[in-house]
Amino acid sequence: MKRYLEDTEATEQFGRELWAQLPSKCLVFLHGELGAGKTTMVRGFLRAAGHTGAVKSPTYNLVEEYQVDDRKICHFDLYRVADPEELEWIGIRDYLAQDCVCFIEWPEMGQGFLPKPDVVISLSLKDEGRELVME
């Protein structure tokens, strides 16, 4: 699926639409350059789930966990991972074994340690908005 997202609101809206589509256990890889809207899309997903607090990029923490009612969402950002083995240190296998939706930004940084994703979303800047490709 390919879609043009004209602005930040459209990117968040796509995230809200994902909430209705993804099962409670799902691994989603998010590809895109800095500023492409990966965290914005996750924010829309969390808003649709009922999360009202802040949603920030987990760039420095590597992972942000959210519990919304009976569903768990984990948002990873592997941008600063120097070696894929670091994922073992943060317990990536334990996270992925849980009944939760895991969004992973910069999954290429975890190559060799991450399993095959259920969904791959690529965002790229185009004109004033973003082009989204979902597989």
pLDDT in tens, 71-115: 999 999 999 998 888 898 889 999 999 999 999 999 999 988 899
Question: What residue spans define the domains of the chain?
Answer: 2-134
Name the CA dihedral angle for 5, 58, 66, 95, rounded to a multiple of 10 degrees.
Answer: 110
Question: Are 74 and 64 a contacting pair, CB within 8 Å?
Answer: yes
Sheet arrangement for strand 129-134: 2-5, 129-134, 119-126, 26-31, 100-105, 71-77, 63-68
Options 3.40.50.2300, 3.40.50.10860, 1.10.10.10, 3.40.50.300; CATH of 2-134: 3.40.50.300
Structure tokens at 111: 């190559």
Identify the pLDDT of residue 102.
97
pLDDT in tens, 23-62: 999 999 999 999 899 999 999 999 999 999 888 888 777 8
Q: What is the pTM of this model?
A: 0.93
pLDDT in tens, 7-16: 999 999 999 9
